Amino acid sequence: MNVLLWHVHGSWTTSFVHGKHHYLVPVTPDRGPYGLGRARTYPWPDTAVEVTPDQLATTDVDLVILQRPEELDLATQWLGRRPGHDLPAIYVEHNTPKDGQVPNSRHPMADRDDLLIAHVTGFNELFWDTGATRTTVVDHGIVAPTVEYTGELDRLAVVINEPVRRWRVTGTDLLPRFAEIAPLDVFGMGVAGLPDRLGLPGGRVTVHDDVPQARMHTELARRRAYLHLCRWTSLGLSLIEAMAIGMPVVALATTEAVMAVPPGAGALSTRVDVLLDAARRFMAEPAEARRAGAEARLAARDRYGLDRFLADWDRLLEEEVCASR
């Protein structure tokens, strides 16, 4: 089938477009947030094609994937058809609520009978109030990294997008405590100003801005352990990818991380001192880091495999299209 979706989250979309369908990705001249087009730092198959808003008016579309509230009106405008009425629509909720009303957060698509909300984690489904709108959960799936963990560098790896702006949400304020144990390599978008904002001495934090996914995986695999300090975000795919590489994890036990990181795959706690002790242990004992990383790898590839993810989505897409006929 022909599936329309915007390029919003690079890692999730990369997994999604590896399915058996034809994926229509809007592109605009400025490649702005509503017309980003195909990814430039992720490998996408040829079945994901760019379409302009003008082309969409005469393009056959079987189903629309929405990921932001404003896309509902935008899709209506560009298609000349109303998602949820003239063709089926699924709203993918990637995020935890951030409106300050937790646990009473009303979802922007609450109390609708014209679409389905697909949450990417059980935690998100639990914490969003969606009223009478139908919901389901499709757990993440990843394209398995092709690199293997070596852990040869006595350094901690972190992947955060916009760590300065998001600060406490992503646990950026906690980084200096871990930088006392080992140098940090921080990968992501918008990381350039991080060392100055943290005020750390030279060499304790090195940033790697918007590195292509394959190269980032290669660099992650060389670091001793993966640090995940997010207080209130949905489950980051970079965490799953690091585990799939075979990296031991040092993570805050918040949101969906408690489901993703099993015992033995590293350290998972709401007590920062426990995580600091684990980081010290992995720095001092490479063999222990490798053992924990091996458990992390098995867990990630078992629960978050691409085949399971795509099968779940195939079933959901087919159900929604059939129900609309």
Secondary structure of residue 190 in the 3-state scheme: coil
pLDDT at 227: 98
What does the alpha-carbon distance between residue 276 and residue 124 come to, in Å, rounded to a whole number? 28
Mean pLDDT of residues grouped by 10 in the chain (325 residues)? 95 95 96 92 92 94 97 96 95 91 94 97 97 97 94 97 92 96 95 89 88 92 97 92 97 96 95 98 97 97 96 96 83
pLDDT at 98: 87
Contact yes or no for 163/228 (Cβ under 8 A): no
Closest C-alpha among 31, 100, 22, 28 to residue 61: 22
Q: Give the CA count within 13 Å in the CB-facing half-sphere of 38.
A: 14
pLDDT at 30: 94
pLDDT at 201: 74
Starting at the earlier edge strand, list the strands of the sheet with 89-93. Answer: 48-51, 22-26, 2-5, 63-66, 89-93, 116-119, 134-137
Token pair in block for residue 283: 């720095």
pLDDT at 248: 98
Contact yes or no for 268/261 (Cβ under 8 A): yes
Contact yes or no for 235/256 (Cβ under 8 A): yes
pLDDT at 111: 97
Torsion angle, CA of 309/315/116/125, rounded to 10 degrees? Answer: -40
Report which secondary-structure segment, H or E, holds 56.
helix 53-56
Closest C-alpha among 172, 102, 187, 91 to residue 134: 91
What does the alpha-carbon distance between residue 57 and residue 4 come to, in Å, rounded to a whole number? 12
